[in-house]
Structure 1
Amino acid sequence: MKKFLPFILLGGGVIVFIVVFMFIKKSFQPAAEPTPTDEPVVELKTEESPVTSLTPSADGHWLKLKVEGIKLSAKSMDYELLYTLPDGRTQGVPGTIDLKGQDAIQRDLLLGSESSGKFRYDQGVKGGTLTLKFRDNSGKLTGKLTTNFTLSSNTTNLASSDSSFKFTLASDNGKTFYIAMKTFGLPDKAPGVLASGPYGIFPSDTISHKGTVTLSGSKPYEWNGGSWQSIDTSSSVETGIFIGTN
């Protein structure tokens, strides 16, 4: 037994050394820094939101983002356009705009990619989502808006992604692209209690595109450029921005 005592003492010393070393190492190990995340922000109410639209180009490869009547005292606005390709892949178009006191901005968003002045266009895009985030001088998130959109052509049946709004064209010329979306903000106060919308139909050209509106469970109105005009669901109206009131 005595001849093994030195080995037992040596082994015990090694174990004690390892335990003490691990304790000291753990004590001096710096705490992991928290991953920065956006603070939860309530989605902006319709009356607080800017009037927003997406308008396709004549070839359907670009979408013009227009944001008008920004009411928040924001320093910058982040935007992100996400869309899905026919093979299931999701593509994104992100960006940040320094508002510099402006209450209206616009950007052309490419459905594809650009490298060294050469463009690659994504084919078969049928829709996606648009997200806007507003930030103050310190970069803190102060407001957020998200909506879905559909991109269509060669059809007379246009509808929002939630199917609550439909616009049936009287005819289709086979050349025009259309965006249908639940948009943000109102160009003027609603003539009653807002029940649905605003929804928008935005064509790729400026010619007349008339059709009938289906807006479930409410009295429909169309923005005529200066005021809200009451419309009949059986009457033919131009594309534009629509709401429903109680």
Structure 2
Amino acid sequence: MKKIIIIILSVILLGTAGFFGYKTIKNKKKTEETKQVVTKKRQEVNLLELTKRPYITLIPRTDGRELFLNIENLKLKEELVEYELEYQAGTMIQGAFGRIDFLEEKPPVRKGLLLGSCSKGKCRYDEDVTGGSLTLYFEGSEDYSLKGEFTIGTMLEKKGIFSSRDAKVTLEIEKGDLSESTFLVVSSTMGLPKEVKGEVVSGPIGFFTASKTNLTKSKLTFKTDKDLENPMILGWDGTEWQEYEVEKVTEGYSTLINNLTTFVLVN
């Protein structure tokens, strides 16, 4: 009888040890997998050369309550992207997150990013949104991460002067070219819609409203302390790059533009 009890206890102990051993290995494996994911997500951004990057735009909804993320010109057989939009809303930092599977949604892709939240048909919008950043994690033949910043505001709020978040690019819009309630986004497009000749010194930077807008004589300035031999400011017309006449000014290089689009300063 004692032998039977000893055998039963031995089996129970072995089973218990095996269970906890398996669980420890399983948990360790999960931890390692989590570490790999975290490491992947924390990889350095903007290491991919400019000519290989996709073209990214953020277009505001008419009322400024939503941004439309547009991704096009993919070059590296990208299969999916995870996006993180973080933005300043008054004193709070808010965000919008998600992923796009390019095997299911063929590029170019357009995705609405609400500056707020909706539940059961009711939406709550964040107030006093001034700008933030967009981070993209691409997976495909070559994994890479991109990050760009943006600002958003109306003609009334900005008094007609719109700048990139780092203040290196400024656009002064003539009074009357846009209504006071028009929202305008200034954002890094991270990549180019088409290659340019020469070295990109500043940009690409995009200026976008909900609909196509024509201007009279608005002043665009790229701020730089570099003395360029052959400076050119190029604007994208949807098909080709258009060259604008450049003026050397104290803070850098300026030009007069007649539409809102993506611009680069090239040497």
Give the TM interval when normalised to the shorter protein. 0.7 to 0.9
Deviation at residue 174 of structure 1 after TM alignment: 0.6
In the other structure, the counterpart of 1:180 is: 186
Deviation at residue 41 of structure 1 after TM alignment: 5.2
Deviation at residue 225 of structure 1 after TM alignment: 2.0
Identity across matched positions, percent: 30
Deviation at residue 42 of structure 1 after TM alignment: 5.6
State which structure, 1 or 2, has the greater radius of gyration over its C-alpha atoms.
Answer: 1
Given that 1:57 and 1:64 are in contact with CA atoms closer than 8 Å, whether structure 2 keeps it comes out as: yes
Deviates more, 1:184-193 or 1:210-219: 210-219
CA distance in 2, matches of 1:206, 1:30: 59
- Tell me, what secondary structure is at the counterpart of 2:204? strand
Deviation per CA, 1:173-222: give whole Å up to 9, x if none. Answer: 11210000121211111121111110100012333244111013443111
1:144 aligns with 2:177: no
The code of the aligned residue for 2:265 comes to G
CA distance in 2, matches of 1:224, 1:74: 26
Given that 1:159 and 1:165 are in contact with CA atoms closer than 8 Å, whether structure 2 keeps it comes out as: yes
Pairing 1:39-188 to 2, within 5 Å after superposition: 39=40, 40=43, 43=46, 44-86=48-90, 88-100=91-103, 102-136=106-140, 142-153=143-154, 154=156, 155-171=159-175, 172-188=178-194
Deviation per CA, 1:55-91: give whole Å up to 9, x if none. Answer: 11111101011011111212211111111121x2211
In the other structure, the counterpart of 1:195 is: 201
Tell me the TM-score normalised to structure 2 length: 0.75
Hey, which of these two has a bigger chunk of helix by percent? Answer: 2
Deviation at residue 120 of structure 1 after TM alignment: 0.7
Given that 1:212 and 1:237 are in contact with CA atoms closer than 8 Å, whether structure 2 keeps it comes out as: no
Structure 1: gaps spanning 5 or more residues: 1-23
Question: Runs of 4+ in structure 1 displaced over 4 angstroms?
Answer: none
The code of the aligned residue for 1:227 comes to E
CA distance in 1, matches of 2:257, 2:89: 34
CA distance in 1, matches of 2:112, 2:181: 20
Deviation at residue 236 of structure 1 after TM alignment: 3.6
Deviation at residue 53 of structure 1 after TM alignment: 0.6
Match of 1:208 among 198, 204, 214: 214
- RMSD across aligned positions (CA): 2.3
CA distance in 2, matches of 1:174, 1:235: 21
1:241 aligns with 2:262: yes
CA distance in 1, matches of 2:161, 2:75: 34
Given that 2:131 and 2:149 are in contact with CA atoms closer than 8 Å, whether structure 1 keeps it comes out as: yes
In the other structure, the counterpart of 1:229 is: 242
CA distance in 2, matches of 1:244, 1:206: 22
Deviates more, 1:223-232 or 1:151-160: 223-232
Aligned length: 217
